[in-house]
Structure 1
Amino acid sequence: MKIMYSPCPNDTFIFHALAHGLIAGAPKLDVTFADIDITNKLAIDGNAPDIVKISFAALPYVLDDYALIPCGGALGRGCGPLVLTNSEHKDPSMLAGKKVAVPSELSTAYLLFRLWAANHVPGGVGEIIVMPFHEIMPAVRDGKVDAGLVIHEARFTYQNYNLNLLTDLGSWWEEDTNLPIPLGAIIAKRNLDLESITNWIKQSVQYAWKHPDASKDYVMCHAQELSPDVAQAHIDLYVNDFSEELGDAGFAAITTLLNRAAKEGLVPKIDMDKLYK
């Protein structure tokens, strides 16, 4: 069975047991690593593997062929994307007509940014530039762009670039909705045994928690030069109860985000029956 997820510590931590044949009854996995911008495009184009990690923002485009797996993804509180600048000004209107770097136009981070900017940046931002997320902070620091939308471990490292926080989109979302922020989804082709896939992934999450040291070499091997402390902070932030089971709050967060985005014309309207089946 072919699977694709990111080399980020939360994904390698979650899928370590499944990828290494430690879950009874699960098939051997053929793993490919790719950043979320790549997995989003592959899934939308119909070229993704059997199981794939994508942004929740891309979910409305793939539900005909893929089902949402209710575990293994990334939702949570206090883990949202950040908007950074090299200015000390805190007024969001400063972004009007300005150049902003984002990690993907199909990412949940960018979807949240668009929802936020519609209400906080009069006249809208100017040019949007897509670049790999590890290039965004240097670009902001060096003045190549006016602001950057960052994700993942950038929450812990942006101060190293002498950058300033303009807004925490996760905090904005949580204050506005009282719901967790939905970031990354695990999806699988609808013609597969979805119940078994769900159980295997859930068991892999549980194994990771029960044996936290077992995955350390695997995590650090793919951690893109992160320090062990930052990699662990990344895991602590993104691997939580929602990783084991989306639950009512998780599904409420997903439907709220996608319905709001559809109302603004940012994504297609989702078929609720396909979201739950």
Structure 2
Amino acid sequence: MKKLSLGFSPCPNDTFIFDAMLHGRIDTEGLEFEVFMEDVEALNRRAFAGDIAVTKLSYHAFAYLNDRYALLDAGSALGNRCGPLLIARAPMDDDAVNAARIAIPGKMTTANFLLSLAYPDARNKQECLFSEIEGAVLAGEADAGLIIHENRFTYQQKGLLKLMDLGDYWETGTGLPIPLGGIVVRRDLNTEVQQKVNRVLRRSVEYAFAHPDEVMSFVRRHAQAMEDAVMQAHIDLYVTDFTVDLGEKGRRAVQEMFRIAREKHIIPLNNDKIFIN
């Protein structure tokens, strides 16, 4: 079988879970992978073009692609108290947020989906690389910013303040963990291959949990000079039991996100297919 194209981001939570399956630490059941390491918005674009077999995908983007891709039970970033944050230089009330220029990490990110739920009238959004959002707010190029990933741990050091934790907003309203991103596989691959990818990824996540010291060199190599403490906090926040397997509660969280988004006309009424067979 030819190599499967595999897309994921250089963020610590992704490199942590994929290291073992890419570096011969586990049984990959004969699967080999051609890696594309890019930010999530770039991976979203690849998936919309349909030119990648297995990829990290924001749940927002997946809602537009679930006719072509199926969600694996392994590999998801779901969690508590780890959602995107809306930040600014000074306090803002709801009217000010609705009128603000808001820097977002991409239209198809789950962060923007949650922002649309919390502030449906906030429409003056400008897309930025996630790593440039704090700078845009500090420079006055944006009035507020929607931050994700490691920026959750650095914005206060730069003198910025939190307007809303959108993860808390979701969890308070639903009582469920927040679905941020998942790993999907193309539906045109046969069921046996889809299941094999899921088993291999689960094995890779379990190996990383059991042998964290072995996988950290790969994580550090791609962590953009991040301090070890920040890197570890990132992993602890986003790699959880749900990453090993969604389970019933994780699946329910994903289904609820799709239900609410359809109800509020944030995503198309595609179909009800979500998971691998």
What TM-score results when the alignment is normalised by the length of structure 1?
0.94
Question: 1:168-194 deviations in whole A, cap 9, x for unaligned?
Answer: 000111011000000001001121411
Which segments of 5 or more consecutive residues in structure 2 lack a partner in the other structure? Answer: none
Aligned pairs for 1:87-126 (under 5 A) are 87=90, 89=91, 91-118=93-120, 124-126=121-123
For the aligned residue pairs, the C-alpha RMSD in angstroms reads 1.3
Aligned to 1:153, the other structure's residue is in SS state helix
The one-letter amino acid of 2:42's match is I
Check conservation: 2:83, 2:165, Cα contact below 8 A: yes
1:2 Cα shift? 1.6
Count of equivalent residues: 270
**Percent of matched pairs sharing the same residue:** 39
Distance 2:80 2:207 in 1: 23
Check conservation: 2:88, 2:143, Cα contact below 8 A: yes
Aligned to 1:199: 199
Aligned to 1:272, the other structure's residue is in SS state coil
Check conservation: 2:87, 2:145, Cα contact below 8 A: yes
The one-letter amino acid of 2:39's match is D
Question: 1:116-172 deviations in whole A, cap 9, x for unaligned?
Answer: 002xxxxx2252100001100011111110000000111111012100100000011
Check conservation: 1:258, 1:269, Cα contact below 8 A: no
Check conservation: 2:70, 2:186, Cα contact below 8 A: yes
Which segments of 5 or more consecutive residues in structure 1 lack a partner in the other structure? Answer: 119-123
**Bigger mean CA offset, 157-166 vs 20-29:** 20-29
Alignment CA distance shift 1:273-1:128 (3 Å): closer
State whether structure 2 residue 212 is matched by structure 1 residue 244: no
What TM-score results when the alignment is normalised by the length of structure 2?
0.94
Check conservation: 1:26, 1:200, Cα contact below 8 A: no
Aligned to 1:21: 24
1:272 Cα shift? 2.4
Quick one: which of 42, 56, 61 aligns to 2:59?
Answer: 56
The one-letter amino acid of 1:83's match is L
Check conservation: 2:101, 2:142, Cα contact below 8 A: yes
State whether structure 2 residue 73 is matched by structure 1 residue 70: yes
**Bigger mean CA offset, 18-27 vs 76-85:** 18-27
State whether structure 2 residue 44 is matched by structure 1 residue 44: no
Distance 2:169 2:30 in 1: 40
